[in-house]
């Protein structure tokens, strides 16, 4: 097996020079570096990543910790698109990526730091953590570099990437208001989700702009699930028959809401307008096609991975990256009659 000693001998340089050249140190002459890389290529040199990680105290491995990654989350494609963005950026670097799933019960058995040390990761991207998850405080107290997705909290070791959920929800409800709707229901996610709080805030802001009082009875929690949103929409429409439109905090819940409306013989959008959030692939294929707030799921993951690598490789401080959203008007909303 070829070692750096073989490369040093053939290139006519020291072992230290070979080591520094192959590990990207800037104090190696460009011509010498090129020569070393050429010799390494000719000798089919493959670096011992384990030995290198022990010497540098870095594994060059990043962790992707996803809470609640289950069948329902795969159905809407949101998490998968975010993961695709993460993987796309990591593929451009020398880092490897490992996925580990978690939930609240697992978090009580093993601390965040224990998990990271066992998996030998240099830094972590976290998605799906709830406001009451044990790991949230542990992450903030840890010195392990981390980037949250859709969790707007930060520290000297923690950054985050999210979309402007308040503005996105505000624009969704303003769209309904501009169509003449005044009795607007909301199917939110759940109270332990940061995005649920922000989207509820956007809903309230839009109503306030039109001088409409917020009514708690017009808001139901659908837990980001299609079936739960179906049940909650059925309940909402039976309890509040004057509702003419519904803003759902995810497209998957909007699909459940449309099913509930049809079950109650509501025509969508003639009798009930429905708007979602996310712009998942299914939203353009259901009938009627879904008006929604589009967020770039791929960019969420890509920017999170980019931020973490910058923190690790260049010791840059964590950032707070907020991406814009876009209103996509399709067939599930219309003006009131």
pLDDT in tens, the chain (337 residues): 678 888 889 999 998 898 888 776 778 888 898 898 899 888 887 665 444 444 444 668 999 998 877 666 677 788 899 999 999 999 999 899 999 877 666 666 778 888 888 888 999 999 988 888 888 999 999 999 999 999 999 999 999 999 999 999 999 999 999 999 999 999 999 999 999 999 999 999 999 999 999 999 999 999 999 999 999 999 999 999 999 999 999 999 999 999 999 999 999 999 999 999 999 999 999 999 999 999 999 999 999 999 999 999 989 999 999 999 999 999 999 999 7
Residues 6+ apart with CB under 8 A from 299: 85, 323
Indicate the SS3 state at residue 152. Answer: coil
pTM of the model: 0.82
Q: How far apart are CA 207 and CA 214, in angstroms?
A: 7
Tell the CATH topology of 165-294. Answer: Rossmann fold (3.40.50)
What is the domain partition of the chain in residue ranges?
4-47, 61-164+297-324, 165-294
Instruction: Answer whether 4-47 and 61-164+297-324 agree in fold.
Output: no
The pairing of strands 158-163 and 184-188 is unpaired
> CA 188 → CA 35, 163, 269, 271, distances in Å?
60, 17, 20, 21
How confident is the model at residue 53, as a pLDDT? 46
DSSP secondary-structure letter at 55?
H
Residue 130 contacts residue 104 (beta carbons within 8 Å): yes
How confident is the model at residue 51, as a pLDDT? 47
DSSP secondary-structure letter at 34?
H
Nearest Cα to Cα of residue 20 among 1, 36, 41, 31: 36
Q: For the structural domain made of 61-164+297-324, what CATH number should be given? A: 3.40.50.2300
How confident is the model at residue 272, as a pLDDT? 98
Angle made by CA atoms 170, 198, 63, in degrees to the nearest 5: 130
How confident is the model at residue 276, as a pLDDT? 98
**In CATH, which superfamily holds the domain spanning 4-47?**
lambda repressor-like DNA-binding domains (1.10.260.40)
If you count them, how many residues does the chain have? 337
């Amino acid at each position: 097996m070829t070692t750096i000693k073989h490369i040093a001998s053939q290139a006519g340089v020291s072992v230290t020079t070979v080591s520094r050249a192959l590990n990207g140190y800037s104090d190696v002459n460009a011509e010498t570096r090129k020569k070393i890389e050429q010799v390494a290529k000719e000798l089919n040199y493959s670096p011992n990543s384990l030995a290198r990680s022990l010497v540098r105290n870095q594994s060059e491995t990043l962790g992707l910790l996803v809470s609640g990654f289950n069948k329902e989350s795969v159905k809407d494609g949101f998490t998968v698109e975010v993961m695709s963005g993460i993987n796309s950026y990591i593929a451009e670097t020398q880092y490897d990526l490992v996925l580990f799933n978690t939930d609240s019960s697992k978090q009580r058995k093993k601390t965040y730091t224990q998990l990271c040390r066992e998996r030998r990761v240099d830094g972590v991207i976290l998605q799906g953590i709830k406001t009451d998850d044990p790991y949230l405080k542990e992450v903030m107290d840890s010195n392990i570099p981390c980037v949250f997705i859709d969790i707007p909290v930060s520290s000297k070791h923690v950054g985050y990437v999210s979309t402007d959920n308040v503005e996105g929800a505000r624009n969704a409800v303003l769209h309904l208001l501009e169509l003449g709707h005044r009795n607007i229901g909301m199917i939110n996610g759940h109270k332990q989700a940061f995005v649920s709080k922000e989207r509820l805030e956007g809903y309230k802001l839009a109503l306030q702009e039109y001088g409409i009082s917020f009514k708690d009875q017009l808001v139901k929690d659908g837990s980001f699930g299609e079936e739960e949103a179906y049940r909650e929409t059925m309940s909402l429409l039976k309890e509040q028959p004057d509702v003419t439109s519904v803003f759902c905090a995810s497209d998957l819940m909007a699909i459940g809401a449309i099913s509930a409306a049809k079950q109650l013989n509501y025509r969508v959008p003639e009798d009930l307008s429905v708007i979602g959030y996310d712009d998942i692939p299914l939203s353009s294929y259901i009938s009627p096609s879904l008006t929604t707030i589009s967020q770039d799921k791929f960019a969420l993951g890509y920017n999170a991975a980019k931020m973490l690598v910058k923190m690790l490789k260049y010791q840059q401080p964590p950032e707070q990256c907020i991406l814009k959203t876009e209103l996509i008007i399709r067939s599930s909303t219309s003006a009131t009659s």
